Structure 1
Amino acid sequence: MINVFRKIWLFSGKEKGNLKKSIFAAFIHAVFNAFQFVAIYYMLECLFISKISTKNIIIAFVILMISLLGKIVTQNISQMKQTHAGYFMAADKRIELGEKIKKVPMGFFNSFSLGKLTTLATTNLTQIESWIPVLLVNVLGGFLNTCVFVLAIFLINIYIGLTALVGMTVFLMVTSLMEKRSRKNATDMANIQTCLTKNVLSTLQGMQVIKSYNLGGENNKNLDDAIDNSYKTTLALEKMVIPYTVVQRIVIGLTIVAMLFVSIRFNISDNLIITDAVMIMIASFTIFEGLIGAGSNMAILRIAENAIDSYEYVNQMPILKEGSITEPIKNHNIAFKNVSFSYDDRPILKNVSAEIKENTMTAIVGPSGSGKTTFCSLIARFWDVNSGEILIGGKNIKDYKIENLMNSISMVFQDVYLFEDTIENNIKFGKQNASHEEVVEAAKKARCHEFIEALPEGYDTIIGEGGASLSGGEKQRISIARAMLKDADIIIFDEATANIDPENEDKLKEAIESLTKNKTVIMIAHRLKTIRNADQILVLKDGEIVERGGHEELIKNNGLYSDLINAKAKAESWKLSNKYRIEL
């Protein structure tokens, strides 16, 4: 139990002060709660000596009012402080998680890590913000409340006090056994919750495929199993707690009976006055309520503790080490020197060396899986090289602060992700302080102004998460507008024109030429139109550069580049035969 409180205390961070105040207020609340028994004791004493006057009633009333007002004030303070502590300690951890993710290599993210991180940011931290402060204060407050009453009984009669203390000790022993027993179930529950989140995410992200292959309902076995396991684990935890809860109630019941018996026995033997005996008998039915509440919350507190333990996953996440160079990058020559990189044990790039001069366009081509996207991603430090080095402006990219490095790079991906926000804010993502006029200008250059204006709310239109409410070409053009607005000196295009419709391709080509003027450009593309005028073409195969040079030069070489271009031209000229042609 002490270990649980220690973990919560360490996890609370800057909110330790609020937790202290909340617990102290809960203790004072227990003291004020005891005042009502002072009033009852006073009235009983007056009753038994047949001396009840208006003055006595007023005194008892004042004591009760002090108890009531004190309880209201202290409970309000305790709840406000514990609520503040809960929400802000979770908020701080979410911010910390967000900052950590920015520094994690992209290779870290997979279906497991995404499920784990989603569970951490949602379920686990929600449990922490909602449960931990409340449970902590309730457990300690309930325990302190009972301690105050037991201490008061000791002052009245040491033997009855010992009876209450023995019952309290046995109760805590049972609670400790329950807490230890709940450890395995709580750990299993956390693992099951992660599995459930991962399967829900996978199902939602792959809904189009699931529907197209009729794999919904009973056929979606992984999700069904995850839901069933979550149900069984939660039910098992509840069933596990029930026997211990029953024993706790029995212990408290027997303790109350014992206190009543001892009080009556001492009163009969004239060792306890009638006022004290009656007062103890009345108090015995209420003094353990706080302890019962504390015991009931211990199993749930264990689950919350497990949520804290799960956050250790964030502390163990690998991070890309930052350099110390913060001044703006002025020279944008890029050099790969004997660069090798592998995903786990699968080599992607093998001893690659290349030079990309400032203010030139370099096209990267090659078969699928040759390492083109990885080549570009390494420049932005989405991953770190296994060996060799990448230089920008003559300095290793590892020597720059990541923020400083990324300020000089804009990336336009083939798979565009747009946030659930307005179109204007999505375009402004790379330049938060941009004016509306700058956004419109970038949109016009990217040839997306017209379709944005046609939307119900124009630039203030909220788009679905991931840009689900837009077509592929529309999302791509917004992504290019975003890059234009950022106006970085190095621009990386990963199949930037892949989803552009034919009628806008020429316009977008002009926009890209405008965007890339006086920039260092790296472009992954298969379309001849987008790479014909490149200053340099690097041809990758199996993680190695097998050809390099200009378009005309590589065509004459009749090598892999020539084969790729011919294959692409042949594919684009393919038509249905008359046998399968549909007349409209």
Structure 2
Amino acid sequence: MSEIIKKFFVFSGERKRTIKKGIVMAIINSFFQAMQIMALYVVLQGIVDKNVTVGTAWTSFGIMLISTVGGIVTKNMSTMAETKGSFFMCADKRTQIGDRMKYMPMGYFNDNSLGAITATVTSTMEDIQDVAPRVMDKTIHGLVHAIVITIMLLFFDWRMGLIILGGILLFLAVNNMMQKKSQGVSPARVAAQASLVGAILEYVQGMSVVRSFNLASNANKTIDRSINECEKQNVSLEVTFIPFMFLQTVLLKWVSVLIVIASISFYLAGTMELSICLMMMISAFIIYTQLETAGSMSALLRSIDLSMDRVNAINETPIMDKEGKIIKPNNYTIKGEHISFSYDKRKIIDDVSFTIKQGTTTAIIGPSGGGKTTLCNLITRFWDVDRGNITLGGIDIKNYTLDSLLLNFSMVFQNVYLFNDTIANNIKFGKPEATLEEIRKAAKKACCDDFIMALPNGYDTVISESGSTISGGERQRISIARAILKDAPIIILDEATANVDPENEMQLQIAIEELTKNKTIIMIAHRLKTVQNANQILVVENGKIVQRGKHQELLNEGGIYSDFISRREKSVGWKLGK
């Protein structure tokens, strides 16, 4: 228990002081509550001595007033501090995770499902935010409350103090057994919660596939299984804890009864005053009330421990930006020297070398799965090469901070992702400080100002997540406007026009021409007109550059490129028969 409490304070980071303040107030609250025993003793002493006076009443009332007012004030301060501390602690952690993810290798997102990551920053963090402070408060408060009263009663009779202390030690022994038992069941509960979030996300994101293939019943079964597993693990956790919680409660009740019996015995033996005996008998039923609550709440400590571990696992994932410096290159020539890269022991790029000169256009073509996109991802350092090195302006890209490296690149992908925000903010993503005038200027160059202004709220129109409320061509032009606004010297086009309908293609070509003026261009493409004018064509197959040169040179050479062009020409000339 103590190790988990220590870990929680380390986890709380900058908010540790606020949370500790809340716990200190809870401890002070215990002292105010313990004063009620003093008020009780004053009255009992007066009754036994047959000397109850107005002074006795006022003394008892004064102590109770201080106890009540002090208890209310400290309880309020404790609750406010713990609530504020836990909320901002989790807000800080979510921000840290978001910031850290920007610098993680992309392989992390392949190894960890979206559901697991989402569950960590949502349900797992909610557990920590809502449950952890309350568990810590009740657990620490319950122990402190019992100890404070024990110390107070020790001054009246050391024998009773030892009996009460024995009850506390028995409680801790059973609680320790419960914590050890929870190690076996808590991980399954946390995993089940993550699995449920993942199943729901998968169902929502794949709704179009579910509907088109009439798989609703199958998808529902997957979610039902996840829900049932989550229910099963939660019930299993509770069933595991019930015997221990029952034993804790029974032990404390037995010790309370023992206190009553011992008090009467000591009084009858003449070794305890009647007033103290009566006070001990009454106190027996309030000494352990807070400790019983602590026992039931402490059952959740192991789940909180695992939740903190899941969050810490993300925040401890190695990042790619440790040694980087903010660098502005003197030129934008890119060189790769004998680079190799593997993913899951499968070699994707195999001993590749290339030079992309500043101000030139390089087209990368080749069979699907050959390594074209991976090559671009290595150039922008989404992943690190296993061997060899890539330089920008003669400087190894590992020497740059990721932010200063990516300032030199604008990317337009085949599958455009837009955020659930206004169109203006989606375009401004390329330059956060941009004015509306700059945004519109970029949009006009990208041929999307007209359709944006036709929308109900123009640039303030909020589009849905991933931009599903507008067409594919419109999404693509917005992404190009974003890249134009960024105005980076190197442009990477990853099959940017592959899935665009003919109506949008002409406007997209105009937008791309505007984007690529006076830039260094790297394009992954299959269309003849997008590659034939390139200064350099790299043909990639099975992770190797098997051909390189200009259009006519590669045609004369034959091989993969010549076959590629031949197939494209045949497809263009294809017609329906009568």
TM-score, normalised to structure 2's length? 0.95
The yes-or-no answer on 1:470 pairing with 2:470 is yes
State the Cα distance separating 1:218 from its structure 2 match. 4.6
Asked if structure 1 preserves the Cα contact closer than 8 Å seen for 2:337 and 2:390, the reply is yes
SS at match of 2:348: strand
> How big is each residue's C-alpha offset from its partner over 1:258-299, in whole Å with a ceiling of 9 and x where there is no partner?
111111222233322222122111111111111101111111
Residue type matched to 1:483 in 2?
A
Please tell me whether the aligned partners of residues 476 and 499 of structure 1 are also in contact (alpha carbons under 8 angstroms).
no
Answer whether contact 1:509 1:530 (CA < 8 A) is retained: no
Rounded to whole Å, the distance in 2 between the matches of 1:393 and 1:500 is: 34
Residues 347 and 543, structure 1, Cα contact 8 Å, conserved in 2: yes
Match of residue 223 from structure 1:
223
Equivalent residue number for residue 456 of structure 2: 456
Partner AA of 2:451 in structure 1? F
Match of 1:297 in 2: 297
Is 1:401 aligned with 2:414? Answer: no
1:341-378: CA deviation from partner (whole Å, max 9, x where unpaired): 22222222222222111111111111211211111111
Aligned to 1:252: 252
1:199 matched residue in structure 2:
199
Cα deviation for residue 416 of structure 1 reads: 0.8
User: What residue is the counterpart of 2:388 in the other structure?
Assistant: 388
1:322–1:402 Cα contact (<8 Å) kept: no
**2:379 maps to which residue?**
379
- What letter is aligned with 1:230? C
Give yes or no for contact 2:263–2:280 (8 Å, CA) kept in 1: yes
User: 1:555 matched to which residue of 2?
Assistant: 555
Q: Distance in 2 between matches of 1:324 and 1:110?
A: 24
Cα RMSD for the two superposed structures: 1.9
Moved more, 166-175 or 312-321: 312-321
Equivalents in 2 of 1:185, 1:464: separation in Å?
Answer: 40
Q: Distance in 2 between matches of 1:158 and 1:342?
A: 71
Report whether the alignment pairs 1:510 with 2:510. yes
Can you list the C-alpha shifts for 1:523-542, whole angstroms capped at 9, x where unaligned? 11112232232222222222
Structure 2 equivalent of residue 569 of structure 1? 569
**SS of 2:429 mapped into structure 1:** helix
Deviation at 1:315, TM superposition (A): 4.8
Deviation at 1:424, TM superposition (A): 0.7
1:452, distance to aligned residue in structure 2 (A): 1.3
Partner of 1:432: 432
Q: Distance in 2 between matches of 1:44 and 1:322?
A: 69
1:581 corresponds to which residue?
none
In structure 1, the residue matched to 2:151 is 151
1:325-404 matches, within 5 Å, as 325-404=325-404
Distance in 2 (CA, whole Å) between partners of 1:338 and 1:220 is 49
What SS does the corresponding residue of 2:200 show, helix, strand or coil?
Answer: helix
With over 3 angstroms needed to count, the CA separation of the structure-2 counterparts of 1:322 and 1:279, relative to structure 1, is closer
> What one-letter code is carried by the residue in structure 2 that aligns with 1:564?
F
Alignment partner, residue 134 of structure 1: 134
Show the counterpart of 1:443. 443
* Mapping for residues 52-63 of structure 1, pairs under 5 Å: 52-63=52-63
Question: CA–CA distance in 1 between the matches of 2:571 and 2:54?
Answer: 104
Deviation at 1:467, TM superposition (A): 1.4
Q: Is the 8 A contact 1:218 1:224 kept in 2?
A: no
In structure 2, the partner of 1:495 is: 495
1:3-45 C-alpha deviation (Å, 9 max, x unpaired): 2122212222222222322222111100011122222221222
Residue identity (%): 44
Distance in structure 2 (CA, Å) of the matches to 1:470 and 1:503: 15
More off after superposition, 336-345 vs 568-577: 568-577
Deviation at 1:476, TM superposition (A): 0.8
Once residues 140 and 121 of structure 1 are traced to their aligned partners in structure 2, the CA distance between those partners, rounded to angstroms, is 27
Matching residue of 2:35:
35
What is residue 582 of structure 1 aligned with on the other side? Answer: none
2:27·2:145 contact (CA, 8 Å) conserved in 1? yes
Q: Is the 8 A contact 2:447 2:510 kept in 1?
A: no
2:73 is matched with 73
**For 1:110, what is the secondary structure of its paired residue?**
helix
- The answer to whether the 8 Å contact 2:473/2:508 transfers is no
1:135: how far off?
A: 1.1
Q: Identify if the C-alpha distance between structure 1 residues 576 and 46 changes in structure 2 by more than 3 Å, giving closer, same or farther.
A: farther
Give the AA of the match of 2:361.
Answer: M
CA shift for structure 1 position 460: 1.0
- 1:13 paired residue number: 13
Corresponding residue for residue 531 of structure 1: 531
Please give the alpha-carbon distance, in whole angstroms, between the structure 2 residues aligned to 1:329 and 1:62. Answer: 76
Give the partner amino acid of 2:379.
I
- Separation in 2, partners of 1:538, 1:180: 60
Amino acid at match of 2:326: T
Shift of 1:455: 1.6
Between stretches 9-18 and 256-265, larger displacement belongs to: 9-18
Counting only pairs closer than 5 Å after superposition, residues 412-427 of structure 1 correspond to structure 2 as 412-427=412-427
In structure 2, give the amino acid aligned to 1:76. N
Distance (Å, rounded) in 2 between the aligned partners of 1:89 and 1:512:
45
**Distance in structure 1 (CA, Å) of the matches to 2:396 and 2:218:** 54
Deviation at 1:321, TM superposition (A): 4.5
Structure 1 residues not aligned, in runs of 5+: 579-584
Alpha-carbon contact 2:340-2:351 (below 8 Å) kept: yes
Q: CA deviation at 1:323?
A: 4.2
SS in 2 for 1:330: coil
Residue type of the alignment partner of 2:542: D
What corresponds to 2:319 in structure 1? 319
Is the 2:203–2:219 Cα contact (8 Å) retained in structure 1? no
Cα distance in 2 for partners of 1:111, 1:476 equals 28
Q: Which stretch shifts more, 410-419 or 525-534?
A: 525-534
Of stretches 61-70 and 206-215 in structure 1, the one that deviates more from structure 2 is 206-215
Q: Which moved more, 1:409-418 or 1:158-167?
A: 158-167
Aligned to 1:214: 214
CA contact 1:131–1:301 (8 Å) conserved in 2:
no
Quote how far apart the aligned CAs of 1:181 are: 0.9
| 1:496 match: secondary structure | coil
Task: For 1:185 and 1:59, locate their aligned partners in 2 and report how far apart those are by CA, in whole Å.
Answer: 52
Residue identity opposite 2:353 in structure 1: S
Q: Counterpart of 1:177?
A: 177
Kept in 1: contact 2:413–2:494 (CA 8 A): yes
Partners of 1:35 and 1:64 within 8 A in 2: yes
Tell me the alpha carbon deviations over residues 189-239 of structure 1, each in whole angstroms, 9 at most, x when there is no partner: 122223333333322222222222222235655433322221111101111
Write the distance in 2 (CA, Å) between the matches of 1:161 and 1:559: 93
The letter of the residue matching 1:492 is I
Any conservation in 1 of the 2:327–2:405 contact (CA below 8 Å)? no
Distance 2:347 2:377 in 1: 15
| Contact map agreement 1:323 1:402 (CA 8 A) in 2 | no
Once residues 53 and 322 of structure 2 are traced to their aligned partners in structure 1, the CA distance between those partners, rounded to angstroms, is 79
* In structure 1, distance between residues paired with 2:378 and 2:333: 15
> Can you list the C-alpha shifts for 1:551-575, whole angstroms capped at 9, x where unaligned?
2333343432222122123334444
Given residue 290 of structure 1, which amino acid in structure 2 is its aligned partner?
Q
Deviations 1:36-78 (A, max 9, x none): 2222221222233333343333332222111111111211221
Residue matched to 1:109: 109
